[in-house]
């Protein structure tokens, strides 16, 4: 078993996280169950923040709450002095309910509604990341109506797409997000924005991809943007206060993944930004980043109970669990890979290879293919690691399956932060049919 954060095997041979026996958690809260290792989230947050401090670079590390948004999680981000990236009225509402300081909230989205912009301004969020011309016009109108001046970043697509070990340079990026940096769109947006008295352009934002294991893509993006900022300084006398390089730092899901440490990502990127700003004779802007997965991904573990199994002779054995694509859609959505152990018998020898099937009425509802495990039967618990990012936040009620609860564990204590959905919750928005049909 790979050692994630505080995860260890106790003397009963049970998985323990945050000093709490996972078997007892499953007994108490039922399964499926999401568990978060709070100490690991704190360690990751501090890893990013302390590296900026060590380098003497002004920064904001914004937790991308799309990875896992819940009041308890947002309060934890606040405890760690993180800023917050929200991408919808719902994520903003969660942050407000959590009492998160609005001035550290950055509001994203490629199709923000007028209501969402009004809500963001009413709560005085720190910054709006403007994605397109439609939004630029609407935001200006809303800000003018309210008699306010709003800080904005312009989201650009720098023509670099990065994913894991690869990055692709594209002259013109085929993306639904942001203003293209290469075809004059970003310039046009910048000129438009600076001409509006109700908007203040703080700088530029980009996000080049996800689950990225090296820094070349980030460095290339930073270089392109800094070149552009040098042009804008020369042409318009503009000095950017902020450069936001987004999130996307990779984590280890399986042994094939070899991510860098938070400090390594930050150090390498900062060195490049410092070198390029010096080369182009620009003031060093404040650097913002937006990690989601790398703050919470490997801190999350999902616990399931194993149930039915099916042997397809000479092909494979399917072992079903009491969850699946409802609580973790990533394998079905983009073939994501995970590792897992039997949480109640971690040290038992491997006896067979099984494929872990979810309980949804969908053949594609498979969590893990070809997993080596001891022979599992009734009462066994499967712990799937690294489910902390885009697990609960993408959870759904397909087949009217209630969403599992979320428990935070730290220093031997467990705290429920999201309750299990009930059947009553599932029907609470449904209304009985009023129309009757004469027989
Ligand atoms: C704009 C933006 N920032 C940050 C993130 C967080 O990315 P990750 O969870 O890979 O760090 C995303 C993810 O989609 C994003 O779109």
Give the number of the atom of ligand 1 that is nearest the alpha carbon of residue 290: 4
Ligand 1 pocket test, candidate residues 247, 294, 330, most atoms within 8 A of CB: 247
Q: Which residue has the higher pLDDT, 184 or 168?
A: 184
Q: How far is the CA of 289 from the centre of ligand 1 (A)?
A: 10
Of 291, 316, 338, which residue sits at a domain end? 291
CATH number at residue 311: 2.40.37.10
Number of domain units in the chain: 2
Nearest Cα residue to atom 1 of ligand 1: 207
Question: Long-range contacts for 22-27 (Cβ within 8 Å, ≥24 apart)?
Answer: 22/301, 22/303, 22/343, 22/381, 22/383, 23/343, 23/344, 23/381, 25/303, 25/407, 25/409, 25/414, 26/303, 26/305, 26/343, 26/381
Of 269, 291, 313, which residue sits at a domain end? 291
Mean pLDDT of 343-371: 97
Average pLDDT, the chain: 96
Q: How far is the CA of 290 from the centre of ligand 1 (A)?
A: 6
Does residue 233 share a domain with residue 116?
Answer: yes
Give the number of the atom of ligand 1 that is nearest the alpha carbon of residue 291: 11
Indicate if the pLDDT at residue 173 is higher than 90. no
Handedness of CA 274, 275, 279, 280 (dihedral sign): negative
CB neighbours of 412 closer than 8 A, spacing ≥ 6?
A: 18, 19, 20
Is the distance from the beta carbon of residue 210 to the nearest atom of ligand 1 less than 6 Å? yes
361 part of the active site: yes
Dump pLDDT digits (tens) for 128-162: 999 999 999 999 999 999 999 999 999 999 988 88
Of 291, 313, 345, which residue sits at a domain end? 291
Q: How far is the CA of 295 from the centre of ligand 1 (A)?
A: 11
Indicate if the pLDDT at residue 103 is higher than 80. yes
Ligand 1 pocket test, candidate residues 62, 292, 300, 390, most atoms within 8 A of CB: 292
Does residue 260 share a domain with residue 409?
Answer: no
Return the pLDDT at 167: 75
Return the pLDDT at 170: 63
Mean pLDDT of 15-36: 98
Give the number of the atom of ligand 1 that is nearest the alpha carbon of residue 211: 10
Mean pLDDT of 70-87: 98
Return the pLDDT at 22: 98
Dump pLDDT digits (tens) for 243-291: 999 999 999 999 999 999 999 999 999 999 999 999 999 999 999 999 9
From residue 403, alpha-carbon distances to 17, 324, 328, 424 in Å are: 22, 11, 10, 12
Ligand 1 pocket test, candidate residues 179, 290, 298, 300, most atoms within 8 A of CB: 290
Mean pLDDT of 98-112: 97
Residue 398 annotated as part of some ligand binding site: no
Exposed, middle or buried by CB within 10 Å (0-12, 13-18, 19+), for 55?
middle
Does residue 365 share a domain with residue 284?
Answer: no
Indicate if the pLDDT at residue 198 is higher than 90. yes
Give the number of the atom of ligand 1 that is nearest the alpha carbon of residue 249: 11
pLDDT band for position 65 (50/70/90)? Answer: very high
pLDDT band for position 122 (50/70/90)? Answer: very high
Return the pLDDT at 164: 78
Is the distance from the beta carbon of residue 250 to the nearest atom of ligand 1 less than 6 Å? no
Nearest Cα residue to atom 16 of ligand 1: 207
- Please tell me the total number of residues recorded for the chain in this structure: 439
Return the pLDDT at 377: 86
Return the pLDDT at 169: 67
Listed residue (379, 381, 383, 307) closest to 339, CA to CA: 383
Give the number of the atom of ligand 1 that is nearest the alpha carbon of residue 210: 10
Nearest Cα residue to atom 12 of ligand 1: 247
Q: How far is the CA of 293 from the centre of ligand 1 (A)?
A: 8
155 falls within a domain: yes
Does residue 197 share a domain with residue 346?
Answer: no
Return the pLDDT at 385: 98
Q: How far is the CA of 412 from the centre of ligand 1 (A)?
A: 31
Three-state DSSP at 343 gives coil
Mean pLDDT of 29-49: 98
Give the number of the atom of ligand 1 that is nearest the alpha carbon of residue 246: 3
Dump pLDDT digits (tens) for 293-332: 999 999 999 999 999 999 999 999 999 999 999 999 999 9
d(Cα 119, Cα 300) in Å, to the nearest integer? Answer: 31
Residue 291 annotated as part of some ligand binding site: yes
Residue 135 annotated as part of some ligand binding site: no
Does residue 161 share a domain with residue 124?
Answer: yes
Does residue 224 share a domain with residue 312?
Answer: no
94 falls within a domain: no
Residue 390 annotated as part of some ligand binding site: yes
Return the pLDDT at 163: 82
Residue 330 annotated as part of some ligand binding site: yes
Catalytic position from the list 127, 206, 360, 361: 361
pLDDT band for position 172 (50/70/90)? Answer: low
286 falls within a domain: yes
136 falls within a domain: yes
Q: How far is the CA of 439 from the centre of ligand 1 (A)?
A: 55
Return the pLDDT at 423: 98
366 falls within a domain: yes
Q: How far is the CA of 433 from the centre of ligand 1 (A)?
A: 41
280 falls within a domain: yes
Mean pLDDT of 327-343: 96
Is the distance from the beta carbon of residue 293 to the nearest atom of ligand 1 less than 6 Å? yes
66 falls within a domain: no
CATH number at residue 176: 3.20.20.10
Is the pTM higher than 0.95? The answer reads yes
Indicate if the pLDDT at residue 340 is higher than 70. yes
Nearest Cα residue to atom 14 of ligand 1: 210
Q: How far is the CA of 262 from the centre of ligand 1 (A)?
A: 15
Does residue 309 share a domain with residue 279?
Answer: no
Does residue 355 share a domain with residue 270?
Answer: no
Does residue 409 share a domain with residue 358?
Answer: yes
Does residue 324 share a domain with residue 208?
Answer: no
Return the pLDDT at 219: 95
Strands (E) in 51-115, as ranges, are 59-64, 83-86, 105-107
Does residue 409 share a domain with residue 354?
Answer: yes
Indicate if the pLDDT at residue 398 is higher than 60. yes
Does residue 320 share a domain with residue 275?
Answer: no
Task: Give the residues across from 15 on adjacent strands.
Answer: 9
Residue 19 annotated as part of some ligand binding site: no
Range of the domain at 159: 108-291
Indicate if the pLDDT at residue 171 is higher than 70. no
Mean pLDDT of 342-361: 97
Is the distance from the beta carbon of residue 294 to the nearest atom of ligand 1 less than 6 Å? yes
162 falls within a domain: yes
């Amino acid at each position: 078993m790979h050692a994630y954060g505080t995860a260890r095997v106790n003397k009963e041979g049970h998985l323990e996280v945050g000093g709490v026996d996972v078997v007892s958690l499953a007994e108490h809260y039922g399964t499926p169950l999401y568990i978060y290792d709070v100490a690991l989230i704190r360690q990751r947050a501090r890893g990013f923040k302390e590296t900026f401090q060590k380098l003497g670079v002004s920064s904001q590390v914004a937790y991308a709450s799309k990875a896992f948004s819940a009041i308890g999680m947002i309060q934890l981000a606040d405890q760690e002095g993180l800023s917050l990236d929200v991408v919808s009225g719902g994520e903003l509402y969660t942050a407000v309910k959590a009492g998160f300081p609005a001035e550290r909230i950055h509001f994203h989205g490629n199709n923000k509604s007028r209501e969402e912009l009004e809500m963001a301004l009413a709560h005085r969020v720190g910054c709006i990341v403007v994605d397109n011309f439609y939004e630029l016009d609407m935001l200006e109108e809303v800000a003018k109506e309210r008699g306010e001046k709003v800080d904005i970043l312009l989201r650009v697509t720098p023509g670099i797409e990065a994913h894991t070990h690869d990055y692709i340079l594209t002259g013109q990026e085929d993306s639904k997000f942001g203003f293209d940096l290469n075809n004059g769109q970003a310039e046009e947006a910048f000129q438009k924005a600076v001409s509006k008295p109700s908007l203040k352009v703080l700088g530029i934002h980009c996000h080049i991809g996800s689950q990225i294991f090296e820094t070349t893509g980030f460095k290339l993006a930073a270089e392109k943007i800094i070149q552009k900022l040098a042009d804008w300084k020369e042409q318009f006398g503009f000095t950017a206060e902020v450069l936001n390089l987004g999130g996307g730092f990779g984590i280890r899901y399986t042994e094939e993944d070899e991510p860098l440490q938070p400090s390594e990502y930050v150090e390498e990127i900062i060195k490049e930004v410092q070198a390029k700003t010096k080369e182009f004779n620009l003031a060093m802007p404040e650097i913002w980043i937006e990690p989601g997965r790398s703050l919470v991904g490997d801190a999350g573990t999902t616990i399931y109970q194993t149930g039915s199994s099916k042997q397809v002779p000479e092909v494979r054995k399917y072992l079903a669990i009491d969850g699946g694509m409802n609580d973790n859609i990533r394998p079905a959505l983009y073939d994501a890979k995970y590792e897992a152990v039997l949480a109640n018998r971690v040290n038992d020898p491997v006896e067979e290879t099984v494929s872990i099937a979810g309980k949804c009425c969908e053949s594609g509802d498979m969590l893990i293919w070809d997993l080596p495990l001891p022979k599992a039967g009734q009462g066994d618990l499967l712990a799937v690691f690294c489910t902390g990012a885009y697990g609960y936040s993408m959870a759904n009620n397909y087949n009217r399956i209630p969403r599992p609860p979320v428990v935070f564990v730290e220093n031997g204590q467990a705290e429920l932060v999201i309750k299990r959905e009930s059947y009553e919750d599932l029907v609470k928005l449904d209304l009985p049919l009023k129309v009757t049909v004469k027989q």
